[in-house]
Amino acid sequence: MKVETTAAVSIKNLKKVYGKSTIAADDVSLEIARGRITALLGPNGAGKTTTLKSILGIIRYQGEIAVLERDISDVRLKVSFVPEEKSFYDSLTLEKAFSMCAMILDEFDHAKARRFAETFDLPLKKRIRAFSHGMKTAAYLSIALSENADIFILDEPTWGLDPIRRDEVLDIIAEIASNGKTVLYTSHIIPEVERIAEVFSIMDKGRILYTGELTSLTEEFRVFEMPSVSPVLEKEKFEKELRRKDMVTVLSNDPSQWERVSSVEGVSSLDTDLQTFFHLLIRGNSHEI
Amino acid sequence: MRYKELYEMRMRVIVIFLIMIAGLTFLVAARPLAVSMMEEMYRDFDQIPEALQRLLGDPAMVQRLGDDSFYIVSQWQGNNLGQFLPIIVLLIAFPIFARETDKGTIFFLLSRINRSTVFWNKVLTGFFASLALIIVLSLLGPVFMRIGGYDATFGESFAIIVHQVISVALLYFLFTIFSIVFNDQIKPVITGIAVVLAMPFASLVDALSFINIYPYIMGESIINTGRIDWTYSVVLSLMAVGLLFVSYKLFEKKEF
């Protein structure tokens, strides 16, 4: 489904090959809508981080990428990034880290960073190397979210956070988007994505399998479960089928099929939530949607 | 960004400076003892084997060591500071990029600041810090001698500084390449040490002796003839510029 908004990031035919044969991104085309939260979902090695690094120009790639309709080198100050590894200069105290950021980044709001540190209960006078994983993530977020950027690219932003802190971070991300900023966000945690993302893309093996709005998922798809011996499986062709022991879960995007299938004995209709949809897309058979 | 770089290298620079100052203080304090020891070593020069004679060098040197200015220039700027110069430069250059890559902090910089800005700020800050360290330490030789009550002048110090500045440039940009190419902090150090150790060995083969820049760093031609070796200086300067260009291109193309 095409998202009808002006793109903050436009990716066309992105291809990235590591070495001679490891394809990390294979003809990826994606438009990240302005002022919205877009989640990029996928299993490990799907190509999410490669896509983010390509957007930021950290790696070389084939294809076209425009950020705010320009080359990334022209708009770097408008982009804030939280990498997968939340490694900051750990010999610094958080206070000195904020001061350093204020010196090297034109668009850094020192006061805002201090407020975030207070929200996340981070000690300003302690060296970052003494922080726990969760505190390091929170410290990195305090810095990245205090930049006056238009686009926030967050790679696993809640990594290592406890559930309470995670909720706080998700609320902050939602607030950023409500102020007109664009958020591109990767995660393995699907309930998180369901909570804040408006648009999502699912990636696997370097390819975008699906892009759409979270709210329209239930309108577009139905999920059914049936015994593996059900005659429906021979008569109908589904978009995805996932076999587990003696049961089969199927995904259908054909409304006329929904009527036929749901009336068959032994077939039950399941909620088309993101978790089920994600599993069917990644683990199901290889029919294209 | 320059502040960040200076902040990160401050401890290394301070420790190097203090160690070298301790060495300089010892050299000044040992001035009377050093000359008498040298005279003792050269007393039976004609009787010792030729190989050992070559190792000791020109016996006329001992007479010249009686001059305070010559003593400090040859023994401090030449022998001590000169010998340590490649290691000092290596200690400052190796983490410039390798530490950021190793620790993953490079993503913070590269996602926010364009590569050319990152490169020039990092490289030039380290380069000027190395230069400042070597120049200040060079000039402190005669100053310490005067504080110690000796009648030393800067004499040939400035000429040797020219050699040392060019040597710093050449070695610094070479070690910068190692710092860019490797993704951890160990390999640039090991490779750098291998280069430093390999230089004297190169001089064992006449055809390769030009690779050994130690005599140049230590101002051998200046101490012997009083003149800067301009030909070698120009060649090394051009090589330094070439290495800087290569390091820039490598950083521009490197994927993190």
Q: pLDDT tens-digit profile of B200-238?
A: 888 778 778 888 999 999 988 888 888 899 999 999 999
**In chain A, where are the structural domains located?**
7-89+144-214, 221-283
Give the minimum alpha-carbon distance from B186 to chain A in angstroms, rounded to a whole number: 19
B2 touching A (Cβ < 8 Å): no
* Interface contact B110, partner A, CB < 8 A: yes
**Closest Cα to residue B178, out of B86, B250, B82?**
B250
Q: Alpha-carbon distance B240 to B169, whole Å?
A: 6
**Is A286 strand, coil or helix?**
coil
Helix (H) or strand (E) run with residue A28 in it:
strand A22-33
Nearest CB to A76: which of B4, B8, B113? B113
A85 contact B CB<8A: yes
Residue in A closest to B112 by C-alpha: A76
CB contact under 8 A, B112 and A81: yes
pLDDT, one tens digit per residue, over A229-240 is 888 888 888 888
User: Is residue A1 predicted with pLDDT exceeding 50?
Assistant: no
DSSP strand pairing (A182-187 vs A151-155): parallel
pLDDT, residue B253, reads 93
Domain locations in chain B as residue ranges? 2-253
d(CA B37, CA B42): 9
Identify the closest residue of chain A to B9 by CA–CA distance: A91
Closest CA to A72 of A185, A139, A15, A149: A149
CB contact (8 A) between residue B114 and residue A89: no
Other C-beta atoms closer than 10 Å to the C-beta of A263 total: 9
Show the tokens assigned to A25. Answer: 């991104």
Average pLDDT over residues B19-25: 96
Closest CA to B213 of B82, B34, B40, B59: B82
For the cut 70, the answer to whether the pLDDT of residue A32 exceeds it is yes
Q: Do A58 and B1 make contact, defined as CB atoms within 8 angstroms?
A: no
B246 to chain A, closest Cα gap in Å: 18
Which residues in chain B have Cβ-Cβ distances shorter than 8 Å to A56? 110-111
Flag the least confident range among A85-94, A236-245, B243-252.
A236-245
**A-chain residues near B3 (CB < 8 A):** 100, 103-104
Q: By the CB < 8 Å criterion, does B10 face chain A? A: no
Structure tokens at B155: 């004499």
Give the gap in angstroms from C-alpha A140 to the nearest C-alpha of chain B.
Answer: 10
Residue A17 has pLDDT above 70, yes or no: yes
Instruction: Reply yes or no on domain A7-89+144-214 having CATH 3.60.110.10.
Output: no
Q: Is the pLDDT of residue A287 over 60?
A: no
- Residues A75-96: tens digit of each pLDDT: 999 999 999 999 999 999 999 9
